[in-house]
Amino acid sequence: MRHAVRVDAEPGEQTAETVRQLRALATPDGTAALSRAAALLADGVDAVAALTRLRAEVGTDLAGPAWGIARQREKARPAFGADADRLLFTSDALEQAGRPELAARRAARLLAGGADSVADLGCAAGTDTIALARAGARVLAVDVDPVARELTALNVEALGVADDVWVVAGDAVELVAAARGGEVAGCGAAVLDPARRAGGRRQLDPDRWSPPWSTVVTLLDRVPTSVVKVAPGLDHDRVPEGVEAEWVSVGGSIVEALLWGPAVATTWRRATVVTGGQVHELTADADPGPAPAGPVRAWLHEPDPAVIRSGLISLVAAELGATLVDPTIAYLTSDARADVPWVRSYRVDEVLPFNLKKLRALLRERGIGRVVVKKRGSAIEPETLARQLRTDASGTATVVVTRVAGAPTALVCDVTG
């Protein structure tokens, strides 16, 4: 059974055409066209030749859309695995899609308290909707965009969870404004993932997200079993009282930031670091304050960006017996190497005031011809400096350019050869 409410409002011509094409791809002929496009893509046939062959084999109507979806599926495969070959994405929807493994983690946490119906407010291609349905919830998938609704309706069908999903046209701003008794649109829980791009550009101001910040705050206030995806750069001052803010990194890069409503929140801030498939969580029930600063010691530690963004560096400093190299710089230093997921450690071999001539002379003296440059609190361009320091010598090193007690400083680390 598939439940889909379609809007009566007139979508733009392009939108109507995209919806028509998506529906055509969901027919048996469309499925055959998609398989053929995937095969041509896998064979490395270039776009012009592939489209010519597809037009001849599956018709002009299906050729272009099938080729477009095959290319999106190829892009989606690293994150979505085998599901990618059954899902439909427009490039816009794929760009906005979160990682499915993180959507599953979010869904499990949101539902752990017993909620069984969830409103996915802004479903796009349905990544969160699918994760919530797979976690056992009944999901009301809402979007203002007819293409998003069509994608979600087709994707939940393709992955066999359509019986638990209702795809509806709706404005999350209005639905949240009408939320009462801990529910929104009749659901006891909600996921809100505002669009944070417009015209291909990132919207840094949360008031310009869609839905805007005011809807985020109202949802967290009125629907305590809720989670909102926000920009990783969100100012801590914006996080409402009683709401948990979590920053998640995968492989050393921030991938998402979340605000958990009061019924799900269990702490003040959380840094979640995913490395090598392992999930590590660092939490604080209250602001731990800044870490102390001190002189550079034998090891330099670069905190994971989730630790930095969540404001939990001082917890890591205390665990490692470490200090900051400068009160304003997120590098830690201690006497020992650290074996924790929160930092990456570098052995400090040389410390000198930053000066290109002196740095070059030192590297020459130590037989170092290739360096990786890292920087924090400096205007230098790492790639340019690495090129400027390159010679034929066989040794390697990591050069960290930063401020130490306010002074521009170079730290030569992990020298080999």
Enumerate binding residues for ligand SAM (CB under 6 A): 96-98, 121-122, 124-125, 127-128, 142-145, 148, 171-173, 193, 195, 210-211
State in angstroms the smallest separation of the CB of 230 from ligand SAM.
11
Nearer to ligand SAM, 87 or 348 (CB): 87
CB-nearer residue toward ligand SAM: 228 or 371: 228
Q: Is the peptide bond before 232 cis (omega within 30 degrees of 0)?
A: no
Closer residue to ligand SAM, CB minimum distance, 11 or 369: 11
- Compare residues 133 and 142 and give the one whose CB is closer to ligand SAM: 142
Nearer to ligand SAM, 121 or 313 (CB): 121
Rounded to the nearest angstrom, the gap between the alpha carbon of residue 5 and the centroid of all alpha carbons in its chain is 30
Query: What minimum distance in Å lies between the beta carbon of 2 and ligand SAM?
Result: 19
Closest contact distance (angstroms) between CB of 108 and ligand SAM is: 16
Beta bridge partners of 238: none
By beta carbon distance, the residue nearest ligand SAM is 122
Min dist. Cβ of residue 10 to ligand SAM (A): 17
Q: Give least dist CB 341 to ligand SAM, A.
A: 25
What is the CB-side half-sphere exposure of residue 320 using CA atoms within 13 A? Answer: 32
* Residues contacting residue 2 through CB under 8 Å, at least 6 positions apart: 153, 156, 157, 162
Q: Measured between alpha carbons, how far is 105 from 122 in angstroms, rounded to an integer?
A: 19
Choice between 152 and 398, CB closer to ligand SAM: 152
Half-sphere exposure of 241 (CA within 13 A, CB side): 0
Task: Tell me how far, at minimum, the Cβ of 213 lies from ligand SAM, in Å.
Answer: 13
Residues with Cβ within 8 Å of 81's Cβ and at least 6 positions away in sequence, in order, are 100
What would the DSSP string read from start to end of 218-286?
HHHHH-SSEEEEE-TT--GGGSPTT-EEEEEEETTEEEEEEEE-TTT--SSEEEEEEETTEEEEEEESS
Q: 28-42 vs 47-58: helix axis angle to the nearest 10?
A: 150
